[in-house]
A and B are shown apart, each in its own frame.
Chain A
């Protein structure tokens, strides 16, 4: 069964393993429209659910009249909180230790809140019936501003928490206060500021935005009243956690609950939380004994499901006169909406915000985040970032720019001066993170050279000196460090379940393989990249390795895909499961070749007897033997499972530079150049990495240049359609230039760090840095996002730069 003799290099190439730009296995079905999404699922006897939502942001429900809706032929049920009360399902726990109304119980807390559901024969009847449900409200004063929410006489948003002075994250000192979370050493930071030669401070608002995946959220719940088991197809980035929660809420044993995430059309954090719609569809299926489908529309998605950001931040830096940063203080007022439903590891109500010291060696730092209730939809998800890392990176990168401006230093120079140096790794930050590896200076030098930074600055000086220049030129620079791969279970859990991940690999007798995972791809290309890891580890061509995920009845338990955790956590689980198989395969090969295990060398796809090139067994030979006639004392079969609990996070980093030209007449910002260098450690599939970076940069561009959720004082969301909410297309998206360095993670079995979110995290402050840079000679230190033409034009007018 030995393969024809080929060089090791040729055989390695044929595996299409790690490092190969293998084409995405998923694309064959996606580009032919053959994907299988939740809304593609049709089941016999399936009913449809639609949701009655609150038109107002705050009010008491006086009366709900279902009669007219129930009278419509084809309507099966109309359910309200009162109907869920006997099941104790009118409220549900959130991931952040709060509770959220499944259906509004006596009052509504935000516009578009779920008030009642309608179950009907088809989607159209359900929509008509929603219109026929009459709800009478008594309007209450609305609180949209988190600072106003904390004033003494502010309206009470959460009546259900009356008298509760202790929240999930400590003391509550006001009826609209959720938590105050501190990190770092306040005394040390204060001392640094007392002694500082220079200090700067800046207020900035990171607007509320929405991940807005192309596929909205939805599910098909199917309860079998005979067998008593529940199957739910769902748009979830974490199907196992959904199974656990569904079992806990419904009382159905976890073994009888099957959650399936089929193809997912983008998640970006929006599909981590458990939404009332899911709960209602499941309850309806249990009550009616028939499958129930619920798929929200775009307006519902933007208005009511997990938003991101909404951080009002005050940053301060202390430094020496020559630009060495000595202290950092950050104060954040975080608008969490009406329920605290942030998707963060349990112990971290502000996620990993304490990565806010960034890539810089800052001896003393303190951050304080205050969570506040307002009359907005709940959320606070990690929109293409590790938990709150985007906010943290934005703050520190903006502050370093502000300091450079005050000192008259160059942005690149001040960064180089404050970098954590290559030889300082592993480096423990003032907030206690242990950065695994990095080489910031090499990466920075590479970028500055690639773009001719000096030349750009010279060009800018010429333009600034010319009063007739039609544009303002700005150069943005960001040197960010991310923390991803949550996370070590001693620190990170979701509802008590540690944030490990898992992989089960089974080699078939003829040498092909299947791997089942605890993660779930939403476009990341897991089926392609995971197979490449196994191919390299076990010498099996990636083409014959099947990767399955998302079905809790077959996949091992895992915490899902978000926070760039798939490669750092699940990728490691794959490598270690494969190595278990490799160890057994070596025993089998030794037996087949009648030598000692130690006399074997591994080469690409085969065990070779040392010193005799002609005697070898490939992994395929070994697989056959494992099922055919395993050595005495070894059990048949060739498979392994590994649950990987990471010892630490990983810390990918990047150096991004952006050049913009702002039209002084229209305020339009043209991105002339965007150069993104990423270091995500070991690279598994360079083509997929590049695709991920392009996608992340484009989403970063969207956030920086246009995305926002505008509310009026009455709590109406005035931009919840794609007419208003900015999703860039090819027309708007600039050209991206990508580059990389490779600094492997020392604690990860593959040295890989995760990459998909870096471009989002890193690019957003780069755009702001570039836009502000264009105004910096006018004394401007900061401009809040979004940098759309109108807002930029107003800034041009305000600072006398408009033509």
Chain B
């Protein structure tokens, strides 16, 4: 009621102090054209912005989707970072190369008549055994080279004497 009284009082004041309008016709035309254009062009794309509940719902939905996206990407990123601890510097070819080495060394072990002892002997580290076998093969190669060079030296000395 109070608001209506105030409103009426304002209307009376405006009527008493009417502004002088120049060019009434052009003002009327511009107002009419403004109203007409709004009525003539309905907003197909963004009509929903005028409906409060729809506007708010869509805004909330968009925020939630952005939030889900950020959380998901953060979780994935954390999990991927942890994977770094599990990386080893090798590839499939490297594994196959080690397998070839492994079967060769195992074949050396198993060919030895002593190999049957391993099944019920004290526990031996595979790593140490394989290192031992590798060193043994290296020594054997060096020994073979020494024997060959010794033999050739002897042959040379005999030739010289002759």
Note whether A and B form a binding pair. Answer: no
